[in-house]
Structures are given as structure tokens and as C-alpha cells.
Amino acid sequence: MTILKSTPAPILSRKRATSLRLTATALSSAILLASTGAFAADEAKKLNTVKVEADAIEPAYKAEKVSSPKFTQPLVDTPQTIVVVKKELFQQQSATTLSEALRNTPGITMQMGENGNTATGDSIFMRGFDTQSSIYVDGIRDLGSISRDTFNTEQVEIAKGPSGSDNGRGAASGYVNMSSKVANQEDATSGTVIGGTSDYKRVTVDVNRTLGESSAVRVNLMKQDAGVDGRDEVESNFQGFAASLGLGLGTETRTYINYLNMQQSGIPDGGVATIGLDGYYNAIFSSTGALAGQTPEPLDSENFYGSTSDHNDVNANMFTVRVEHDLAEDVTLRNTSRYGRTNQDQVLTGINGISFVTPADPASWTVARSRQGKDITNQILTNQTNLTAKFMAGDVQHELSSGVEFIYENQVSFGVGLPYAAADSATRASQVNANLYNPSTDDVFQPVVRDGTKIDGEVTTYSLYALDTITFNPQWEMNLSLRADRFHANTTQITRQGTGSTVPVGTYLGNEADLVDELLSWKIGGVYKPVEDGSVYLVYANSELPPGGTNFALNTTNAANNVNNPNMDPQKGTNLELGTKWNLLDDKLFFTAALFKSANENEIATNPDGTSVQVGETEVSGLELGLVGAITEQWQISAGLAKMDSEIVRGNRTTSSGGATNSNTEGGVVRFSPELTFTLWNTYTFDNGLMIGGGARFVDTTRNTSFTNEERLATRTLYEIDDYWVLDAMVSYPVSKNINVQLNLMNLTDEEYVASFNNSGARYYPGAPLSARLGMNFTF
């Protein structure tokens, strides 16, 4: 094996699938030819094996409203950037998880983890801020570091910018809501059977049946067994069951009783070391290092460094009852109760530092394995009452949505790790390193066990809110929102004493922290409608995130620089947005544009003397464009572009003049916030039902640090990953009235790219290579 190279390494190396690449080339050529012929109507009509009657334009991707009753206006009159991704869109893309569905909106990136830990599940960064704890299902917070499947999802709603008046505590980025399928008054059966590369197998069934005139039941089933394209050993298996009973449908009193069970299993991915990637640094290759001037080979991106006994087992249950009653023609009372419980048992093998055992012999190099685990149970119990009313007050129309909410959330996390050498020892068992270039799952792996530590955190929230849309005349509207939350967090923690104390090593200690806070969130927006189908708006909104608001883990350790210290103030986010929205082409195409400026205050910053103070401030401003709907009867489109400029307005300041110790961040960029992101998906349907589709995604250069000193950046393992494009394609054809066949090709050009990397730059997730899925969709 050689390590000397004359040019920088490519992003990564990969085993090639020649036959699949040739198939993709042939198919992409066919799609281009078909696209050219799309405008030759006479030729298209000759392909009439299965005739499909063309109705008026049906904008399959375009939504009129979000599902929450807190939003009384259609999207065109809502003063905020809100993106709705309907199931018709992500099903065409063969996108089956929330993370995949979110590729249809710009400004979102995924993060891999910090402090030696590997993030799992939907680790979302949106507009520069961590959004993982701001994910909702039907307007109710859904905590847990899990991957969410979309088999029971009607649409995914992304509200951007601080939105505390909608849901209470939250990040400055906004939130994501998954709107569930419920029973309705239409008899229908649909489903999919899909197979693909990496032994991908998936089956879904969606059955809705009426029960008399005003009742119905709906059942959704899903089963998936799959490997992960481009990754050895990694598995992603899901099983889901959802049932919805609707009573009184079409009457003035409606009841929905819903149950969801999701199970996840498989082998989680600990990632690949970044050695050899463009921009990689290690002192051994520096001018004074033992391998000065040499460039290491990148690893095979399919390498797996864990054990086949690694696992990620999730069991989630959610029981919901919603009752709606029309008190009058324009007055509706709703009450929603939910109990949810999610258990996660995970063992994952991450990787850390590299040991150059014999520097001149790369075959001897090893990488440290980090055996990590999660043993977490999340619970939520909530009751929410909402009243919507439309009424006149003089010459002014009000559309009011008000309510009260009670929310109890609990997270119990048992400490896990490698066993201690003895009950009074601070030393854990050691895990054998992996061969860097040739890892083996046959190595001996230490067990991951509970270590006696535990964090039991709970949050109880009482909320009162009101949101009012005031219409003065056909041209002018005002949106006012106000929400008050009483936030009570309590954390009980059991820790194990280490060295450096008079308390004996191995002694278990208990401590408790408590916090009561009042949060006030608001939104004020003005809407000007020059015509009925268009609007121009200006909105200013806020959100607050108190200590313990993301994981319920109040912590008095390192009090001065810990955002979860109960003595800290809530972080406060604000968003100023100027935008315009237009329904075009007879309400079939929706265009949006917005200029925004989001800020987050009360972050932790370090002074030149080393002290920590809560004066940090982050700012992200930019432009977002969106286009969704039908351009013609045959041509559907969904596209978005985001341009973001980010800055640490007040951050760490240091007296160091330079070098590897300079930790200055003030004036730096916000990490995991690429300047430009773009997404596109569009399809064209011929008269005979043949549909061709294609999409593109672009993510600009991304950094994992806000450091501003070039010397400090130069000695980081990897602080920046290159931009990339990914192209996808789809072809579907109705072989009968009830069945169509669909082929999806992902990453047509087999682009080699880094999908995400961790905070230190030591490891990354490679982007999926060229892959394929062939499915049958049926409707009856």
C-alpha cells in the first residue's frame, strides 16, 4: 500500500457497480430523449397501450394550508416561510424517512455528532440552528434520536424562523411537523412493493373503509428490511402499524381515535475516518512530522468499523384521541389527548484517533474504536384544547385560534459503556483498535453495559395562547400571536465518582436540579394583498429555549459554560422576515420569496480572561425562494433555493495572537450552515400515463467550526467539506388501471461526496452511491 501521492486525494474512494452505472446512463439518456419528445404531442399519443384520461390541472405537490388549526389562513396569506411536502412528492422519490423528505426544502443540513459521540436519527440543522428537538407529530412534540418513517404521513410541514407562539419553547430555526393519515369517508386501498440495491425490500398497505354513513376505519402497515447503499454491514429495518377510527365524520361532532406503533432495528453506522480526504490534517504529515510531505490514501468508503452485534432497537407507541365539535357555523372546539412512549436500545461503534504504529507502513495503522450506547425511554402525556372562531367586530373580521395546553414530558437515560475493571476502579475495559484500511468484524468487541449512572428528567408545561388574523379590508390583514408558558423542569441524576476527590472511586452520588420559568412568545405580521392571489408581508417573531429544554437534563457541572445550568437565562431567538407569496396559473402554481434575518441571543461565550458569560449572539440572514405546483397539465414541479449569510456576532474572544490555541469565534460563520442550498424535483406525464421525473440537490461548502484564526483552522483534522450536486431520476408507467410500475435511480452520476461529518472532523458519513429501486404501486 502506498501513501505518497502527487495530487490531493479525491473526496473518497468506492467500489464500483459497473452494470448499474451503465443502466443509469442508458436510463438517463432515455429520460432526456423522452423529455425532448414531451412537446411532440402527436408522437406521444401513439404510445397508447394504457390510455389515461387527462383531467384539469391537478397540482399534486401544492398544499393550500397546514394541518394545524392554529393557522386559520391559507399559505398564500400566512406571513411566514412555511414549506409543505406532500406524500405524493416523497412517494415519487421513493423517500421513506423524514430526513429524505426534508431534502425537498433548502436550508437544511444533517449533523453527525459532537464530543466523540455519533448522532443518530433525524439530526437536523435548519437555517444554522439545531432543530432535532423541534420535531412534532400532529402538532405535538416528538422527542428521541430516532429515524422517523413516513409510511403514515400525509404531509411534512416545515415552519422556518422562531415560532414560539405556535408551539412554545423551541430553537431559533423553526420546527418540523409530520401530519398523520386519518380515517376518511372514501373507500380506498393503496400500497407499494419495492425492491432495490443493497438488498432493499419494502412493503406498505393503506386501507380505508367506511362503516355506515359517518364512520370509517383506516389501517396502514409497513415492513422494510434493507441494507444501506455504499456501506458494508449497515442495516436499516422498520416495521410499522397505524390505525385510525373516525366517528361522526361529516357531522358536527367528530372523533378520531388513532394508534401508531413503530419498530426499528438493524446495525447502526459509526462512520468512516476522514484521513486522506481533501483538507485532512494530521501532525504526522506536517513539515515537521515523520511523514512530512506525504499524502495518505483515503479509506474505502464502504468500510465498516463496528461489530455485527451492534444494534439500534426502537419501539415507539403513540395513542391519540381527538374530538372536534362545531359550536356554530364558524366556531369549532377541539380537544386532543395523547400518550406516547419510545424506547431506544442502541450499541454503536464509532471511531476516533488514528495510531500510526509503523509510520512507513500504512498496513499497520489503526483507528480507535469508541463503543457507544443509548438506553433511553421518552414519554409524553398531553391534553390540548383549541377554539377557532370567525366573527365580525364592527367592520373588522377576526379569525381567532386560542387554547390551553398541558404537557408532561419525561426522559430516562441509563448510563452505558464498557465495563469497569472493578467496583472501585475508574478504568474501563479497553476496546481493541481496528485496522485502519482493513477493518474486521471478527475482532473481539467489549460488551456495552449499564454502568449504574442515570439521568431522569421531566418537564411539565402549562400554556395559554391566542392567534388572531384581523382583516381590515380585502387588501390589508394583520396577524397577532401571543403565548405564555409556565415551564417546570426537574432532573434527578446518579453519577459515579471518578478520581481526584476524597470520595472513594466508584461511589454513586445523587443530585437534583430544578427550574421554574415563565416564557412569553409572540408574533406580529402584516399582510398586504394587491390582488386576491398574491400577498406581501412583514413579520417579526420570537422563541425562547430555557435550560433543559432540549433533553430535560439540567446540569450544575461547569456551571459557567453550561447552557443547561438552571441559573442560566433562556436562549432567545428572533426573526424578521419580508416576503411575498403568489398563486399563479389559476391557483395551480405557488411561488414564494422571502428575505429573513434570524438571531439567537444568550448563548455561552468566552472572554479573553477565560471566563464564560451568557452574552453570545448568532445571526443568520438570507433569501429563500420556492416554487411548487403544476406548470401545465403534464408538468409538475417542486423547487427551492436558500442563500444564507451567517455570523457569530458575539462569541469567543481570546488574547492569543494566533496558532493552534486561538479559539476566537467572534466574526466567524455559523457551523453546519452552507451558504447556498438548492433542491428541485419535477415530473412530466404523457397522455398514455408514462411519467418521467428528475431532480437535483446542491449543498454548498460546509464548515463544522466557527473558529476565525487561519492557523487554528489549519491544524484541525478537517473543518470543511466540499460542495456537491446529486441528480436523481424516476420513471413510472401504468400497466393497468390499478397498478403502475416505478423505477427510481438515485445519484445518477455516482457522485462521490461527504453527506455529513462530525464536530471534530475525524469521521464522516459518505453520500449514497448510484442506487436503484424498482416498485409496484397499486390503488383500488
Give the pairing type, strands 135-137 and 174-180. Answer: parallel
Read off the pLDDT of each residue in 668-679 and give the average, rounded to a whole number: 95
In this prediction the pTM is 0.91
Instruction: Supply the pLDDT for residue 8.
Output: 40
Strand boundaries in 31-123, DSSP class E:
82-86, 108-110
Tell me the C-alpha distance between 140 and 335, whole Å: 13
Which three-class secondary structure state does DSSP give residue 166?
Answer: helix
- pLDDT for position 333: 98
The answer to whether the CB of 474 falls within 8 A of the CB of 534 is no
DSSP-H helix ranges across 49-146: 87-92, 98-101
Which pLDDT score is estimated for 563?
84
Name the grid cell of 737.
388501471
Q: pLDDT tens digit string along 26-80?
A: 444 444 333 433 433 344 444 444 444 444 567 899 999 999 999 999 999 999 9
- Tens digit of each residue's pLDDT (9 = 90 or more) over 446-479: 999 999 999 999 999 999 999 999 999 999 999 9
d(CA 731, CA 379): 42
Q: Is the predicted pLDDT of residue 582 greater than 80, yes or no? A: yes
The predicted structure's pLDDT at residue 120: 67
Instruction: Supply the CATH classification number for the domain 18-487+508-779.
Output: 2.40.170.20
* High-pLDDT (> 70) share of the chain, %: 90
Say how far apart CA 95 and CA 196 lie, in whole Å. Answer: 13
pLDDT in tens, 88-130: 999 999 999 999 999 999 999 987 755 555 666 788 999 989 8
In 3-state terms, what secondary structure has residue 147? Answer: coil
What pLDDT was estimated at residue 182?
Answer: 98
What local confidence, expressed as pLDDT, does residue 659 receive? 58
Collect all residues with Cβ–Cβ distance below 8 Å to 164 and sequence separation of at least 6: 170, 483, 519, 521, 522, 541, 542, 543, 544, 573
pLDDT of residue 652: 87
For the chain, the structural domain boundaries read: 18-487+508-779
Burial string for 630-668 (b: 16+ CB within 10 Å, else e) reads bbeebebbbbbbbbbebbbebbbebeeeeeeebbbbbeb
Cell 462512520 belongs to residue: 271
Pick from 61, 174, 59, 78: nearest CA to 580: 78
Mean pLDDT calculated for residue range 145-158 = 94
324-345 per-position pLDDT tens digit: 999 999 999 999 999 999 999 9
Burial class for 293, CB neighbours closer than 10 Å (0-12, 13-18, 19+): exposed
27 or 218, greater pLDDT: 218
The answer for residues whose C-beta is within 8 angstroms of residue 501's C-beta and 6 or more apart is none
Looking at the predicted structure, is the pLDDT value of residue 392 above 90? yes
pLDDT at 112: 77
**pLDDT tops 90 at residue 521:** yes
pLDDT at 430 over 60: yes
pLDDT digits (tens, 9 = 90+) for 341-361: 999 999 999 999 999 999 999
What's the chain's average pLDDT? Answer: 91
Q: What pLDDT is recorded for position 119?
A: 60
Instruction: Report the candidate in 644, 649, 595, 520 with the shortest Cα–Cα distance to residue 165.
Output: 520
Residue-wise pLDDT tens digits, 587-644: 999 999 999 999 999 998 888 877 888 899 999 999 999 999 999 999 999 999 999 9
The mean per-residue pLDDT over the stretch 240-265 comes to 98
The 8-class DSSP code of residue 557 comes to T
The whole-angstrom separation of Cα 644 and Cα 620 is: 7
Position 45 scores a pLDDT of: 41
Choose among 295, 293, 275, 442: nearest CA to 366.
275
Of 44 and 203, which is predicted with more confidence? Answer: 203
Q: Is the pLDDT of residue 657 over 80?
A: no
Predicted pLDDT of residue 557: 72
Give the pLDDT score at 1.
39
- Cell 465498516 belongs to residue: 304
Percent over 90 (pLDDT), the chain: 80
pLDDT, mean of residues 313-318: 96
Structure confidence at residue 29 (pLDDT): 43
- The DSSP string of 681-740 is EEEEE-TTS-EEEEEEEEE--EES-----HHHHHTSS--EE--EEEEEEEEEEESSSSEE
pLDDT of residue 710: 87
pLDDT, tens digit (0-9, with 9 covering 90-100), for 173-193: 999 999 999 999 999 999 999
Residue 236: CB atoms within 10 Å: 23
18-32, 298-312, 428-442, 736-750 — which is least confidently predicted?
18-32
Residue 719 has pLDDT above 50, yes or no: yes
Residue 218 C-beta-side C-alpha neighbours within 13 Å:
27
Q: Which three cell numbers stand for residue 290?
A: 515523520
Write down the pLDDT at residue 423: 93
Given this model, what pLDDT does residue 27 score? 45
Mean pLDDT for the stretch of residues 573-599: 97
Mean pLDDT of 371-398: 97
Strand partners, 375: 345
Q: What is the mean pLDDT of residues 664-676?
A: 93
Q: How far is CA 64 from the centre of its chain?
A: 23
How far is residue 730's CA from residue 746's CA, in Å, rounded to a whole number? 9
The model's confidence at residue 12, banded by pLDDT at 50, 70 and 90, is very low
pLDDT of residue 656: 56
Question: DSSP label at 283?
Answer: G
